[in-house]
Chains A and B, each alone.
Chain A
Amino acid sequence: MDIRVLFLFSVSLLIVNQVSRAEPAEPAGKAAQAVNAPIPVKAFQPPPDEAIPDDEFGNMVRLGRKIFTHTGKYAAEYVGNNQSCVNCHLDAGRLANSAPLWAAWVRYPTYRKKNQMVNTMQERIQGCFRYSMNGTPPPADGETLKALMSYAYWMAEGAPTGVTLPGQGYPKLDKPKLEPDYQRGADVFAHNCALCHGADGEGVRQDDQQVFPPLWGKHAFNWGAGMHRINTAAAFIRANMPLGKGGSLSVQQAWDVAYFVNSHDRPQDPRFEGDLEATKKKFHNHQCRYGDKVGKTVLGRSSK
């Protein structure tokens, strides 16, 4: 090479070197709109934690709170994944629009289409262990359920019974203008969710603790959990995600990203008896992707 060329090249390199500035390591991309007010609701106010009584009953309530927020640690034998109850019931089960415990307490016993019978509160919680926690239901008379029941009961102090309180469940979401779409959902996910839940939905674990929960894969909720329904996930996400910015996604974005999240494989529906089509027909007559083909995989086929 002509040495003069080399010289000029070096000089230009030097200039480029001095002038250019590195891009931030991982640009977080286009932010969701900056509106971040929680969806307003005139909700029942549960008592503050400080009001848990200092007696035997209070001890049981405190145990229930611990199980609720660190389920894998305090109820290990009944948990089959890396989730905790608080992941889907925010603020330790207190937050309106995130299926709070105080609103649940006053609704049971009630008839549920899911298992076509009247369910008690115990059975409802057992259901969340079986599906959302991909585990084994704790026995109705054991300490785990006693503690969770005490916690919910304490939290509902003063609430009227037998009514649907404002803030119960997740607020039903309007239908989207466009059919939910995988690619649009993937974009929403990459820009607004991956920084916490991981590019592959695996969540973040640090020092043996789950900081951000997994959304799919073998450590997530299973194919029988309420959150695998696109409408349920969309409602939860729109009200509560990205963390601290609930209400900031558009209705369309919430549906798209819920569709994307729930188009990935996760642990098998515990009601599965060897025949995917039969399980789909019997238990999945709702908005979900169980048994659908995504790329080359049929969702649920190789789930364990």
Chain B
Amino acid sequence: MKKRAGIYLIFAILTYAAPTLGAPPSGKTLAQQGNGKGAPGCVSCHGDKGQGNPAAGYPYLAGQPESYLLGQLNAFADQTRTSPVMQPFASALSVEEMQAVSAYFAGLPLPDTDSGKSAGDTADAGRRLATQGKWSVGMPACFQCHGDRGQGVAPHFPAISGQPEDYLRNQLEHWRKGARSNDPIGLMQAVVGHLEEADIAAVSRYLSTLSPTKAP
């Protein structure tokens, strides 16, 4: 009987801890190595400091509001935000792992994304949308919600300045197509409803040339 109990105990510990051996992995370990259960290390795509990868169009995660990141992981998993890449990874994370990795990236500083590039001939149109909006159709300036240099306003409004141009354009397109519908009270759906193709191109380009750590 004593022996049986011992075996059960070992079993119990093993089932609980086997996948990771020990407590659930820390946010940092998850970010670097993944959880060994279908979620790879995040840094391979999102950068070793969470700074993103502009060439590949992977967004930065560093310095984003914690609850925003957590909300996105949930949205990938329940597919109110569709992404063939992120959906399986997010689904492979446990609740605790999602929380830990969100807290980890939120705790890193926002990246300085200044690349010295200019938005060229659409710069003025992009700047106007970002700083003044398009009130003729009832659209506020992007920076009224996202902060005066697009650095984000916790907890609901993510940083948008300095994200890769393709990434920004894709997100706006996703809202337009309904592939992303997780925004609080439909605020971004309303914004996108007021944007023409040319506006989306101009504002994505303009924002990608900024840095969330510097005044535009």
User: A3 on the interface (CB 8 Å rule)?
Assistant: yes
Over the window 1-36 of chain A, the binary record of Cβ atoms lying under 8 Å from chain B Cβ atoms (1 yes, 0 no) is 001101100110110011011111110110110101
Q: Are B187 and A38 in contact (CB under 8 A)?
A: no
Over the window 80-124 of chain A, the binary record of Cβ atoms lying under 8 Å from chain B Cβ atoms (1 yes, 0 no) is 000000000011101100000000000000000000000000000
Give complex CA distance A29, B99 in Å: 21
Residues of chain A within 8 A (CB-CB) of B137 are 38
Quick one: given A4-B8, A36-B138, A38-B138, are A10 and B15 in contact (CB under 8 Å)? Answer: yes
Find the B residue at minimum CB distance from A191: B185
User: A142 on the interface (CB 8 Å rule)?
Assistant: no
User: A37 on the interface (CB 8 Å rule)?
Assistant: yes
- Choose from A26, A206, A245 the contact partner of B186 (Cβ within 8 Å): A245
Quick one: given A17-B96, A31-B185, are A10 and B16 in contact (CB under 8 Å)? Answer: yes
Q: Are B185 and A22 in contact (CB under 8 A)?
A: no
- Choose from A22, A23, A49, A244 the contact partner of B187 (Cβ within 8 Å): A244
Give complex CA distance A28, B183 in Å: 9
Give complex CA distance A14, B99 in Å: 17
Find the A residue at minimum CB distance from B5: A3
Tell me if B's interface is mostly helix, strand, loop or mixed: helix
Q: Are B140 and A36 in contact (CB under 8 A)?
A: no
Over the window 142-176 of chain B, the binary record of Cβ atoms lying under 8 Å from chain A Cβ atoms (1 yes, 0 no) is 00110110000101100000000000000000000
User: A242 on the interface (CB 8 Å rule)?
Assistant: yes
User: B45 on the interface (CB 8 Å rule)?
Assistant: no
Q: Are A244 and B139 in contact (CB under 8 A)?
A: yes
User: A76 on the interface (CB 8 Å rule)?
Assistant: no
Within 8 A of B (CB), among A41-99: 49, 90-92, 94-95
- Choose from B66, B182, B185 the contact partner of A245 (Cβ within 8 Å): B185
Give complex CA distance A122, B184 in Å: 41
Residues of chain A within 8 A (CB-CB) of B190 are 34, 36, 244-245
How many A residues have CB within 8 A of the partner chain?
Answer: 46
Quick one: given A14-B16, A25-B67, A243-B145, are A7 and B11 in contact (CB under 8 Å)? Answer: yes
Quick one: given A6-B12, A22-B95, A24-B70, are A244 and B191 in contact (CB under 8 Å)? Answer: yes
User: B56 on the interface (CB 8 Å rule)?
Assistant: no
Find the A residue at minimum CB distance from B96: A17
Within 8 A of A (CB), among B66-84: 66-67, 70-71, 74-75, 77-78
User: A192 on the interface (CB 8 Å rule)?
Assistant: yes
Q: Are A206 and B95 in contact (CB under 8 A)?
A: no
User: B36 on the interface (CB 8 Å rule)?
Assistant: no
Residues of chain B within 8 A (CB-CB) of A21 are 74, 77-78, 95
User: A163 on the interface (CB 8 Å rule)?
Assistant: no
Q: Are B95 and A28 in contact (CB under 8 A)?
A: no
Find the B residue at minimum CB distance from A40: B138
Chain B nearest CB from A51 CB (Å) reads 14
Within 8 A of A (CB), among B50-105: 66-67, 70-71, 74-75, 77-78, 94-96, 98-99
Residues of chain A within 8 A (CB-CB) of B132 are 49, 91-92
**What are 23 A-B interface contacts by the 8 Å CB criterion?**
A3-B12, A10-B12, A18-B94, A21-B74, A21-B78, A22-B99, A24-B67, A25-B70, A26-B155, A36-B190, A38-B138, A49-B132, A90-B135, A192-B185, A196-B156, A204-B153, A211-B144, A211-B153, A242-B185, A243-B144, A244-B139, A244-B190, A247-B138
Query: With contacts A22-B70, A22-B95 known, what are 13 further pairs, Cβ within 8 A?
Result: A7-B11, A11-B15, A20-B95, A24-B70, A24-B75, A32-B186, A195-B184, A206-B153, A211-B144, A242-B187, A243-B140, A243-B144, A244-B187
